[in-house]
Structure 1
Amino acid sequence: MLTYHRLSSIQDPNFRALHHLLQSIFPPEEVLAYDLWKEPLEDPSIHVCVAVHEGEVVGATEYRYYPELRVAMTDFTIIGRPALGVGRFLLRSRERDLARLAEQSETKPIGMFAEVYDPFRAADHAFGGVSPMNPYVRREVLSHIGYKRLDLAYVHPSWDHEGEAVSELDLCFLPADEEQSSIDASLVATFLERYYSALPNKPEEWLGMMNRIRSSESIGLLPI
């Protein structure tokens, strides 16, 4: 049986297991250092939850909801063990929690952002050898859920605080309206500025991308 547990401290014994899982799945530039997790875990707006099976952390997801923008962000979804239904469990648990957060803020969500690896640019990453985390699989799953890719050359600052540009991902959006074919560029710019405000070192590539977004009215939403 899977249980859904929110982490709120690096002292939580499940956090060490989560951080090890992160390091085994993602490349180093995508993983925040252990000690730097203290403030995010204590931030009430950031939800870091793990799926626990027989005392073992077998999956995790991190997300947040911006009521003023009426959008959510899925920071990551990790499946550490196949054949346990971890992905579906995390998806449904997250959906219920986000619905609760929207109700509390008396807002109606318009969609959710997510970053996903482009397997043609991230082919060298083994992603922990766990088949459900394969870039091709993850991308297809997001497509089935309803995510669409923003029509832009996307980069983001590395989470190792080195200020490098990470360009192996696409920024995607899951619109509440399945027929939505574009997204307001100012919404994207505001979201990205807030989401990456915790990283002081921004690469020139990211700054250039942000300028291009701000100079646009809308950004197309394309199939993944």
Structure 2
Amino acid sequence: MTTPRALTDLPFHRYLEDTDEVPGPSSDHEVAHYRGTDFSDVRADGARLTECAFSDTTFGASRWRGARFNDVWFQGSQLVGTDLAESQWLDTEFVTCALAGTATFDVTMNRVVFHGCKLVSVNLREARLDDVTFSHCVLRDVDFAGAGLRRVSFPGSELLGVHLDQAVMDGVDVRGAGELDLRTGRGSLKGLTITHAQLAELAPLFAAALEITVTD
């Protein structure tokens, strides 16, 4: 199980510079540290951020469509109503962050880790997630419909009303999840690894997906 990194653990920590420079459309930013910054009114479509850190930042209804985040670290940040659709994430880490009503459809995530985060009503439809870990997170009404999930795990997390309609999964492991409440359509659970106890819990879901009536 991965351990969340502190700011000083980042390999690029010594090069970080505190900045108030707000990203704009198609702008480039490297080794920037945003501390307590409010991005609520920012429009940064297509921005590129490399080896950057965000500490206790607020994103609000800002727009980052098609932005690219490469080796970026977030801690204690609030992404509420934020538009991140079609963005790309590589080697990114979220620590104790909150995402609510976030538009993240059509995003691409590679080697991304969420530690102790809360995700509520996050739209990940048609997203592509590879090697993504949700560690000790709460996912409530998160929508993975039509998404491609490969080597995704949820150790110590709670999945509450998570939607997997027509998701394509390969090596998705929920055995470490503390609570498992899935909403899905026919055939969407192929590629999912669960425990025997979880199999019993999900029996009604399987019956509904196969249109089986269970009665005494």
Richer in strand (by share): 2
How high is the TM-score relative to the length of structure 1? 0.26
Q: Report which of the two structures shows the higher radius of gyration computed on alpha carbons.
A: 2
Q: Which has the higher contact order (CA 8 A, sep 6+)?
A: 1
